Structure 1
Amino acid sequence: MTDLTHLTIAEAREQLRGKQITASELTDAYLGAIEAGNGALNAYIAVTADQARAMARASDERLGKGEGGALEGIPLGIKDLFATRGVHTQAGSHILDGFEPPYESTVTSNLWADGAVMLGKLNMDEFAMGSSNETSYYGPVTNPWRAKGDNKALVPGGSSGGSAAAVAAWLCAGATATDTGGSIRQPAAFTGTVGIKPTYGRCSRWGIVAFASSLDQAGPIARDVRDAAILLKSMASIDDKDTTSADVPVPDYEAAIGRSVKGMTIGVPAEYRMDGMPGEIDTLWQQGIEWLKEAGAEIRPISLPHTRYALPAYYIVAPAEASSNLARYDGVKYGLRVPGKDIVEMYEATRAAGFGAEVKRRVMIGTYVLSAGYYDAYYLRAQKVRTLIKRDFETVFADGVDAILTPATPSAAFGIGDQDMAADPVKMYLNDIFTVTVNMAGLPGIAVPAGLDANGLPLGLQLIGKPFDEETLFATANVIEQAAGRFTPEKWW
């Protein structure tokens, strides 16, 4: 019999409904895999074994009566950014030490309502600030992939590195994640998994620890395109508690899998062909173009002229919003408190001890660009650039382009503790060069595995779609997935 943890969500769903397996058996298989492998990978920072088994038993009862929901009995990992009632929710940070919220995020509430089982909370960059999952208070996550003939530990990408690593290493059937500048798509590309950042407003942000509120969006990381579609259908909803969630019907995304792309127009932006881009990335991009051509799509060169300003504008807007959002962590009502002789000293000592170096860096950048005398020169200008980036996409889509194909990352996964990255934060920020435009414009984007580099490490392609047209992305990504095949790491953990 196939190892239960290697079943896709679609396969597990079928076997659960056909009573070939039980939710309890499936959950126990994943809990066993976590116990055996998490020590090496550090993907989970809290495992909720008792709760998972109780949820699985309840799923088996419902399945026995033929009452199962869309995700009945499917074991999932939850990024530590999502509030889970009575369970560790610390955003990978020391400053939220011991915080267990008395409420549930809307996204996880939707998943539990559809019968999903919670295995635990997944590691992440602190407050989602990072591209390598090395800024977590709980230590770095290790990518389950290794280069051929090399035992060097690699990063899984960030900030949703725990989510991507757990899915790739068969430690959960799928995972929730969030994307502010590429934090779903970049780790998906680094781990050979599928990650979709839906349109801004497609999933409620209520109960998700905020980083940059105008950019943050929840989405799934899964083993294949179909599983990502199944998960997004359950995660997405309108929500009165989040005024930015959109009152737009949630379609059956799974129905888009297998839809023909014949007659579709796929744009290829000239501006994404960067100076110094590795030859392997360009070759992969060309291969993706050929696959879509063979499937009947028309390929059209396009221009997104303001792309080159996206990364600097993003690293003004995101830290500015972060400095505002993170002001609430002061040691007064919850989380870490470091005593001081008066309240000001307590604030200062708590924040100094509670925040890591990268979070402090971004809070200081954000506070600076919002300060009197610099607001107009930096923040206001960055917002104007953001409008121009959005307009670039609107112009292209109005001209008949259905989706845009680009690389997902400028390289494959790099080593944990890479000295070049550690010495130069800007070099780390460049990991988001292909992904931040999507957040700045509020568009949907999906990363799909498309090949391996010379060292045997996964590389991904990105598809960008029109607002609330995730269905086209699923259909198009499925074409690439079928052509490229599935990629799994060789087990060493």
Structure 2
Amino acid sequence: MGTSTTATGATDLTRLSAAELATRLAAGEVSSVEVTQAHLERIAAVEPSVHAFLHIDDDGALATARDVDARRSAGERLHALAGVPIAVKDIVVTKDLPTTAGSKILQGWIPPYDATITTRLREAGLPILGKTNMDEFAMGSSTEHSAFGNTHNPWDLDRIPGGSGGGSAAAVAAYEAPLAIGTDTGGSIRQPGAVTGTVGVKPTYGGVSRYGLIALASSLDQAGPVTRTVLDSALLHELIGGHDPRDSTSIPEPLPPLVEAARAGAAGDLRGVRVGVVTELGGEGYQPGVRARFEESLELLRGAGAEIVEVSCPHFTYALGAYYLILPSEASSNLAKFDGMRFGLRVVPDGGDGLAATAERVMSATRGAGFGDEVKRRIILGTYALSAGYYDAYYGSAQKVRTLIQRDFAAAFEQADVLVSPTAPTTAFKLGEKLDDPLAMYLNDVATIPANLAGVPGMSVPNGLSDDGLPVGLQILAPAKADDRLYRVGAALEALLESTWGGPLLARAPELEVAR
């Protein structure tokens, strides 16, 4: 089909955006089989270095691609993204494909059903390349808590790709997939986006179905797109979003016009848009290069006609503490189902101590062997916070702080249409650097957590390289159900930045070593 070959041996199809691939597929310039095969070859070449995937489904992806090609040849009307391959975080349930949530306790589990997101992807004809690596049960900010090994940042293989969805972000950044699905409980889509130079979107809570997501914290979890461009995120968001009667928290309203907003924003005109800079999400603890790129981005937004205003959200300073009480509490409840009795791992004590293998002892042995240290840490903390005598002091107080944070957002959105901040305080740190310091690890999510506590949508857009040559991101936040504002402002900033840089940020990433 006239595609050239890069130094890696993969065709240049892997370097195209999802929107560009969709256009070529619709025009018959390339087949889905060719596109899918190119990405599978790229995965085979770079996975030994990146380890973004836990499971790769060559046969299933190519079968879907062949079906799409046949339907397109027959003149059938297809979804705009039909034939464009995608990677899916391993916390999203997939029928007939392993789903482990990055944990030994689910190693080898094959679900008997699909998540709503998976169903929508399959119905639209997107070949699923495989399941991506993640921190166990989405507990982490570096993907170092996966039971199946670290994922490496394609910009520097000695550094973390963010977390918990580092596998999805790394797969997109390494050109292994043009699209990916992530989940965001406290920043797990946006923070990996920032440190890998990709676009990550956390939709409004309830805007994308949670049916078939393995729950971490049910009042915080939200699935969303991981892509290389804002338009690609809009296309994927519109596909997976919308009401789902199987999810009681799903918003019974249609999504706003996200693709339309992204296309309009790409013109770079932000006249009439008020952009609020959150005082509490910056300053001390933020790497100088991160702060410098943020200030430069503000000037670009101002030059595009946006009005820049400063807003204060005083209770954001308590968000981290509240989050790390609410999340473990909900996690301790949600993970109670993993008991070795119904599915997943079962460890039966050998009886060498003369004691019978009772249900209680099987459960204890299974959880001891199946859960990693971070999961155990949070279960213990959550169980303590919910225990008699401490519920009001800890969990109850955290929920009151959550209400104050929601009020801060409401007041801020009276002054501004969107809020902005750096997505993460630093660039990607070295693997192992913070693994033994949970508090230092938790601070990576200081800017992203407030959005989850309030249920508002957020986006991370790559906005340059810090002084260490690693990518940073700018976070955009909008009111609940106003996700289209993210796409208008995000696409405008992306266009302004790429005009300044002369191309996408990822084009400046070092080429990965490939398997021979």
The aligned counterpart of 2:470 is 457
**What pairs with 1:325-336 in structure 2 (closer than 5 Å)?**
325-336=334-345
2:43 aligned with 1:34: yes
List per-residue Cα deviations over 1:245-287 (Å, max 9, x = no partner).
1012123311112333211111111111232322212212211
What is the root-mean-square deviation of aligned Cα atoms in Å? 1.0
Give the one of 374, 377, 398 matched to 1:361.
377
* 1:487 maps to 2:505: yes
Cα contact 2:203–2:483 (8 A) shared by 1: yes
SS of residue matched to 2:505: coil
Q: What is residue 385 of structure 1 aligned with on the other side?
A: 401
- Name the structure 2 match of 1:407: 422
1:23-44 residue CA offsets vs partner (Å, 9 max, x unmatched): 0000110111111111111101
SS at match of 2:364: helix
1:212 aligns with 2:211: no
Identify the residue that residue 371 of structure 1 maps to in structure 2. 387
Q: Work out the CA distance in 2 between the residues paired with 1:438 and 1:191.
A: 21
CA distance in 2, matches of 1:241, 1:445: 24
Distance 1:455 1:312 in 2: 30
In the alignment, is the contact (CA less than 8 A) between 1:70 and 1:234 conserved in 2? no
Q: Aligned-pair distance for 1:108?
A: 1.4
Distance in structure 1 (CA, Å) of the matches to 2:435 and 2:127: 37
Shift of 1:424: 1.6
Contact 1:63 1:72 in 2 (8 A): no
Which of structure 1's runs of 4+ aligned residues deviate more than 4 A?
none
Give per-residue Cα distances to partners, 1:288-332, cap 9 Å, x unaligned: 211110010101111101010000000000000000000000011
8 A Cα contact 2:323 2:453, kept in partner: yes
| 1:120 alignment counterpart | 130
CA distance in structure 2 between the aligned counterparts of 1:252 and 1:273, rounded to whole angstroms: 31
Tell me by how many angstroms 1:401 deviates: 1.2
The one of 76, 87, 98 aligned to 1:88: 98
**1:11-60 deviation line (CA, Å, top 9, x unaligned):** 00000001000000001101111111111111011011101111000010
What is the CA–CA distance in structure 2 between the aligned matches of 1:251 and 1:234, rounded to whole Å? 12
* Range 237-246 or range 249-258, more displaced: 249-258
Residues 66-215 of structure 1: pairs in structure 2 closer than 5 A: 66=75, 67-146=77-156, 153-215=158-220
Q: How far 1:465 sits from its partner (Å)?
A: 0.3
Match of 1:149 in 2: none
Question: 2:320 is matched with which residue?
Answer: 311
Distance in 1 (alpha carbons) for counterparts of 2:58 and 2:468: 37
Residue 443 of structure 2 is aligned with which of 430, 434, 437? 430
| SS of structure 2 residue aligned to 1:299 | strand
AA of the residue aligned to 1:326: L
| Per-residue Cα deviation, 1:316-371 (whole angstroms, up to 9, x for no partner) | 00000000000000011111000032111100000000000000000000001000
Residue of structure 1 in register with 2:59 after alignment: 50
SS at match of 2:464: strand
Q: Deviations over 1:467-491 (max 9, x none)?
A: 1111111110112111222211221
8 Å contact kept, 1:197–1:217: yes
Matching residue's letter, 2:362: M
**5+ unaligned residues in a row in structure 2: which ranges?**
5-11, 350-356, 499-503
Deviation digits for residues 425-448 of structure 1 (CA, Å, limit 9, x no counterpart): 100000000000000000000000
Once residues 472 and 423 of structure 1 are traced to their aligned partners in structure 2, the CA distance between those partners, rounded to angstroms, is: 39
| 2:261 is aligned with 1:256 | yes
Amino acid at match of 2:52: A
Structure-2 separation of matches of 1:39 and 1:335: 27
Q: In structure 2, give the amino acid aligned to 1:415.
A: K
Q: Which moved more, 1:312-321 or 1:465-474?
A: 465-474
The one-letter code matched in structure 2 to 1:244 is T
Q: Does the aligned pair in 1 maintain the 2:311–2:415 contact within 8 Å?
A: no
Match of 1:244 in 2: 249
Q: Distance in 2 between matches of 1:252 and 1:20?
A: 28
> Residue 395 of structure 1: CA displacement?
1.2
- Per-residue CA deviations over 1:361-400 (Å, capped at 9, x if unaligned) read 0000000100011101000000000000000001121x24
| Secondary structure, aligned partner of 2:435 | helix
> Cα distance, 1:453 vs. partner?
1.1
Inter-partner Cα distance in structure 1 for 2:33 and 2:390: 57
Equivalent pair of 1:71/1:111 in contact (CA under 8 Å): no
Correspondence for 2:352 = none
Partner of 1:342: 358
2:285–2:425 contact (8 Å) kept in structure 1? no
Greater CA deviation, 203-212 or 266-275? 266-275
The residue identity in structure 1 corresponding to 2:255 is: V
SS at match of 2:280: helix
| Residue range with higher mean Cα deviation, 285-294 or 196-205 | 285-294
Per the alignment, in what secondary structure is the counterpart of residue 151 of structure 2?
coil
CA distance in 2, matches of 1:139, 1:316: 27
Structure 1 Cα separation of the partners of residues 112 and 48 of structure 2? 29
DSSP-derived class of the 1:170 partner: coil
Q: Deviations over 1:66-119 (max 9, x none)?
A: 322122101000100000001100100000121110100001111111111100
Contact 2:256/2:482, CA 8 A, preserved across alignment = no
TM-superposed CA distance for 1:197, in Å, is 0.2
How far apart, CA to CA, are the structure 1 residues paired with 2:13 and 2:187? 31
Query: What secondary structure, in the 3-state scheme, does the structure 2 residue paired with 1:289 have?
Result: helix
Segment of structure 1 superposing worse, 258-267 or 332-341: 258-267
Residue 351 (structure 1) aligned with residue 364 (structure 2) = no
> Of 433, 439, 447, which aligns to 2:460?
447
> Which letter maps to 1:361?
R
Cα distance in 1 for partners of 2:64, 2:438 equals 42
Cα deviation, residue 422, structure 1: 2.3
